[in-house]
Structure 1
């Protein structure tokens, strides 16, 4: 199963505003988020806000895709999907500076695969 994660900075003067946006998402818009996830092709989304010493924060998102969905397919579907939820969410979220693209994968490691590989190396 494919997954992706990305991060981008939230300026110090907007951290509380961002927290409020995510609180509103969590309290009032999870149904819309869930519908978008099912249509676009992912089943798990995790979001973190990691504070920086200067008062800014890093927003971190992790997604796990449904079987057969890869980052390129996800990106196409996400950009094409429109609903009442996205009309509410997208402009608010975009105002914080969304990343221009999904990043380039450089390493994919899995404990199950690593154990198999280690057994083969010892043989």
Structure 2
């Protein structure tokens, strides 16, 4: 039997592909239109985090605890946001630092912080049980 998590993940992936079909049908993202990158962000946001966001909002643990779902969604939002900063403003500077460098630093710090947070949460869960 298919778990609730799997069914929601399948729905999120189908929704992401339907989004691509609708955008293609509407003609957005063709030519010099700046739509392809936001569509890319939305597509990958839905595929990678849509199911976790839905299940976290509903408060359903399933295979993954709700707190871990929220941490994953937050990490994904920061990474997608940093990707947008790198894509749209990478060659601009803040003081003497290029936004591309700042974006990559945010990506690295976010990934390290996410893995540390998940490791600590997993350790605490194993010790409490």
For Structure 1 versus Structure 2, the TM-score category normalised by the shorter chain is under 0.3
Higher helix share: 2
Query: Relative contact order: is structure 1 or structure 2 higher (C-alpha 8 Å, sep ≥ 6)?
Result: 1
Higher strand share: 1
- TM-score (normalised: structure 1): 0.25
- TM-score (normalised: structure 2): 0.24
